[in-house]
Structure 1
Amino acid sequence: MTRNPDFAVTQFILPGQVPDRETAEGWRQWRLARYSFVPAPQISLDEYRLMSPWRRQLHDLHRAATHANLPLQETPMSAELARLMRGRLQTNALKHKSTTRAGLMITGGGYQGKTETACEIAAAFEDAWLDLHAQLNPDALPGTRDPHIPVTYVQTPVTAKPKSTCHAILDFFGADHKGMNMPQLTRQVRASLHDHGTRVLILDDITRLKLHRADDQDTST
């Protein structure tokens, strides 16, 4: 049976399984493939009219996919955020002292690109950090096999409490947390972040924490 030569193109245009950035493997897949989409080529009206109906339909589909996957556009605000966040990540990653690492909270209205901008900056940091250390964890203990995960991305649970937030962080690593109490969860989170060489922890939608509650204050801390 002859295979349709446009089949591979169609498969490329249509989305496959979308990486789940809330897992270590999903984040890695997204980070490595985030520039892989090729937009539809620009053609003239005459070139479009010369296409067969099938090729025209395929081109229209590719254009629709291009519009659905537009790249991030740099703005003065995003450029300033990138400058600040890159500096903060680098400073924290290079600290030798056991002092507190300064965090960064990004605020703004919905659908303004906060998540995608932060993820892109963190992914670029991870690319550079892995290249710097030849893809290896510089702090790994001899004989351990924990994968090196410089960046951890977590969606803050809808009802964020200490336990549910710890569960979400541990789920990113695929770590077992069944039956653990709060002190055990806290220790497990700290151990997972350390053992995987994590330098950046992104908590998306952190505003779900209402800090007038004691539990939320504990989670924020």
Structure 2
Amino acid sequence: MLPGPPPARNTLPGWDTYRRTRKSFIPAPVLDRDARRALSKRRWQIHDLHRTATHANLPVLSTSTPMSRAVGKLLTSRIETNSLKQRPTTRAGVMITGGGYQGKTESVCEIIATFEDGWRELVGQLNPEALAGTRDLHAPVAYVQTPVTAKPKSLCKAILPFYDAPIHSWMDLPT
């Protein structure tokens, strides 16, 4: 039912675990009245716990509103375009704003995880012999949380720990 704590998506191993397992949750089966009555008290409690977990893990309905469809289309297009850019110029970004608990983070994570699945399928693993902690490790997506008023320095400070790279004292400049 719940194989442990949720993966820490803000680290490379956690993101990879999230990406690979995000659709593996199996919802509780729907039981009719007779099937439910046939359960022992213990099985009934376990089933109720599974139902609670099911409600807490409802999938994001990406096509539920015109706004979510527009955000999904824009974000997917932007990620695909940026991934194909060859010049070292600035890549266009997307800012998604809104009130809390509206599914912004989960929607974005699903979109970028889907992109990474497709990218890995398209280009293979690029370097399957890459060792963790080396520069040739391939990670097409990095998920990090940033301050509301993120600037390039604070973004870099958020990204470095994702790759388990040190943040040296000389990098600690005002953000």
Q: TM-score per shorter chain, which class?
A: 0.7 to 0.9
State the number of aligned residues. 168
1:89 is displaced (CA, Å) by 1.0
Q: Structure 1: how far apart are the matches of 2:69 and 2:113?
A: 16
Q: Structure 1: how far apart are the matches of 2:150 and 2:87?
A: 30
Instruction: Tell me, yes or no, if structure 1 residue 147 matches structure 2 residue 137.
Output: yes
Residue of structure 1 in register with 2:51 after alignment? 63
Q: Structure 1: how far apart are the matches of 2:143 and 2:36?
A: 43
Mapping of 1:170-209 within 5 angstroms? 170-181=160-171
Identity of aligned residues (%): 57
Runs (4+) of structure 1 moved beyond 6 Å? Answer: none
1:145 is displaced (CA, Å) by 5.4
Residue of structure 2 in register with 1:90 after alignment? 80
Alpha-carbon contact 1:157-1:168 (below 8 Å) kept: no
Supply the AA of the counterpart residue of 1:21: R
TM-score by length of 1: 0.68
Mapping of 1:21-36 within 5 angstroms? 21-36=9-24
Structure 2: tracts of 5 or more residues without a match: none
Supply the AA of the counterpart residue of 1:66: T
Mapping of 1:1-221 within 5 angstroms? 13-14=1-2, 16-74=4-62, 75=64, 76-136=66-126, 146-157=136-147, 164-181=154-171
Structure 1: tracts of 5 or more residues without a match: 1-12, 184-214, 217-221
Q: Structure 1: how far apart are the matches of 2:89 and 2:150?
A: 26
Supply the AA of the counterpart residue of 1:43: L
1:97 is displaced (CA, Å) by 3.2
Structure with bigger gyration radius? 1
SS of structure 2 residue aligned to 1:110:
coil
TM-score by length of 2: 0.85
Distance change in 2, residues 1:164/1:103 (3 Å): closer
For residues 2-40 of structure 1, the C-alpha deviation after alignment (integer angstroms, 9 at most, x for no partner) is xxxxxxxxxxx2451221111111111111110010000
Alpha-carbon contact 1:39-1:63 (below 8 Å) kept: yes
Q: How large is the RMSD of aligned CA atoms in angstroms?
A: 2.4
Alpha-carbon contact 1:40-1:59 (below 8 Å) kept: yes
Q: Structure 1: how far apart are the matches of 2:81 and 2:152?
A: 28
SS of structure 1 residue aligned to 2:144:
strand
Supply the AA of the counterpart residue of 2:115: F
Q: Structure 2: how far apart are the matches of 1:168 and 1:95?
A: 23
Q: Which has the higher contact order (CA 8 A, sep 6+)?
A: 2
Supply the AA of the counterpart residue of 1:31: R
For residues 30-70 of structure 1, the C-alpha deviation after alignment (integer angstroms, 9 at most, x for no partner) is 11110010000111011101111121111111111111111
Comparing 87-96 and 118-127, the one that deviates more: 87-96
Query: Higher strand fraction: Structure 1 or Structure 2?
Result: 1
